[in-house]
Amino acid sequence: MSTPVIQVKDLKTYFQTPKGVAKAVDGVSFEIPKGGTFALVGESGCGKSVTALSLIQLVPEPAGYIAGGEILLNGRDIAGLTEREKRAIRGNKISMIFQEPMTSLNPVFTIGDQIMETIRLHQRKTSAEARTLAMEMFGKVGLPNPESLINEYPHRLSGGMRQRVMIAIALSCKPDLLIADEPTTALDVTIQDQIIELIREVKESTGTAILLITHNLALVYRNAGTVGVMYAGKIVELTATKNLFRNPMHPYTVKLLRSIPGGEKRGKALDTISGTVPPATSYPAGCHFSGRCPREMEGCASVYPELTERAAGHTVACHLHDPEFMAGGNSKPLRHEPDALPPLTAPYAEREVLLDVRALKTHYPVRKGLFKKITGFVKAVDGIDLTVRKGATLALVGESGCGKTTAGKSIIQLIRPTAGEILFKGSDLARMDERTIKPFRSLIQIIFQDPYSSLNPRLMIKDTIEEGIKVLKPGLGKAERERKITEVLDRVGLTPDMMYRYPHEFSGGQRQRIGIARALAVDPEFIVCDEAVSALDVSVQAQILNLLKSIQRDFGLSFLFITHDLSVVEYIADEVAVMYDGKIVERNSTVEIFSNPVHDYTKKLLAAIPKIDEELVKLWKLPGK
């Protein structure tokens, strides 16, 4: 049997912090054969990306260091190499596609300079030879017109094109191991499909081993041969992909799988995981998942479960599968969560129209020359019609650049449209000036894609939420405002004492809850959700979707849900409008769109969705009684 491309044995990567040693990776072992794909999944903060940085020898020093274990690349231990030896491996034998291509590409150099630097450094090519190879790689990854594109800067490319550039750079030296760290996060479903297909083709043609890090479990199901489920610095389940999805054994794995939204769960609450991943400086002495586990027993927090083979080729670290532990006196159940979840929906009866958008256009002038003469227009939104009913959700879907966000901002008058009518409760918002529209501002709100950038880092949460109340509800006194803030924080699952913290003190999911609380504080009737869950872990995403559905049920809110995640659309939306190049090309009920799409573009979008077989979903039961 041939030597695996990469063998990781009991890897430990620690960080020195003011609060003590953070054990980000705490004894991880796995291997990847030539041409194989190993997926590493888990919530943010579990150690996935630090594991990847350890393999490519990019752990930030001096705080971070490899505290133990082996990293064998083609049988050679690379953990203790000199810095010069590490540089010879990075980008050559081991390459990495980073999660955010815009921040990993140098903005002051052309994309051609950046790929040619890698080729000249590792392949000892001349500038002319490197340029030729660079254009070949750009062609292989599907970038149009490599001859002209090679002189472009990163900011002039779309997200999908920048990701292709990163792949071209990573593959330019034909690495033995390619690390893909969330390579498709926040990409359109069609671009995501192209990127994954490209990685698959490269793997098959060169035999490159792939380490895929992602929170998209459907992507794992369709593309990985083996899966490692990581939690709080350790792998808690490791097996072939088909085994994991047919018979998940760890409660954490089951909870992750059951958090995935989809059409079969419409009208029901999604499964969620209570609490958060514990900080790496203070893991429990026993099972790291204790405290969050729905099947926790008396001895779980004090006795660590070893990763042990419990079925053929299926290893799991859980006391529920340890006969000796279960026969002992420390296996008394502390909690038992039922498999069935309560319904979470409002009946979709005949509802009044709350918002009626007619022939909406938003055009941007293109100015050129010394006198900035208008030479044309970018037709971001070009005559769309939308209807949103009270207490209902309309999803607006399509690829990046099709005009979705511009349409949402135009509807709520954050961008002034060029033409058309926006009838909200019978009043045309498009015809109003700022003074006339002010009474409507509290009724129409928006939840942004990135809650961190939309929250002022210098303001406490109390001040952030109170700011909107002061402006839009000036009649409320200080005591009434504080009562309102306490109410909305409680409604979104946050405690009142959190209002005195700053945004950086919260997780991504908590910051998104703060964004929702800010919108709810002024008693809206209509909310635009602009990619509100696109970059969240599947478990946090489930919490936010449940929250949105519950507040819609309780307050009768209407949502315009802008997203590229069609599995979320299938779960949450009542109706769907498909947008392409500034126009609506198809609009229908969610059930009809997904079961009987008519437009070719809609069919293309749906065909690109990675899906898990519905029969497997029925098998995901929590272990134990």
Residues comprising the chain, all counted: 625
Among 623, 614, 622, 610, residue whose Cα is nearest residue 217? 610
Beta bridge partners of 562: 396, 530
- Angle, in degrees to the nearest 10, between helices 159-171 and 189-206: 10
Q: What does the domain layout of the chain look like in residue ranges?
A: 102-173, 391-415+434-616
pLDDT tens column, 58-99 = 998 888 999 999 999 999 999 888 888 888 898 889 999 887
CATH number of 391-415+434-616: 3.40.50.300
Q: What pTM, to 2 d.p., does this model score?
A: 0.87
Enter the tokens of residue 128. Answer: 């002319």
Q: Beta-strand (E) ranges in 103-183? A: 177-181
Checking phi first, is residue 624 left (phi over 0); if not, alpha (psi -120 to 50) or beta?
left
Asked if 325 and 331 touch (Cβ cutoff 8 Å), the reply is yes
- How far apart CA 39 and CA 240 sit, in angstroms, is 10
pLDDT in tens, 433-455: 888 998 899 999 999 877 777 88
- According to DSSP, the β-strands at 64-73 and 6-17 are antiparallel
Contacting residues for 201 by C-beta, under 8 A, at least 6 apart: none
Over the chain (625 residues), the average pLDDT of each successive run of 10 is 86 93 95 95 90 92 91 91 88 86 83 92 88 89 85 83 86 90 78 83 87 91 95 96 96 93 85 86 92 91 93 95 85 69 56 92 87 84 94 91 90 94 94 90 88 85 94 90 92 87 83 90 93 80 88 90 90 94 94 94 91 86 80
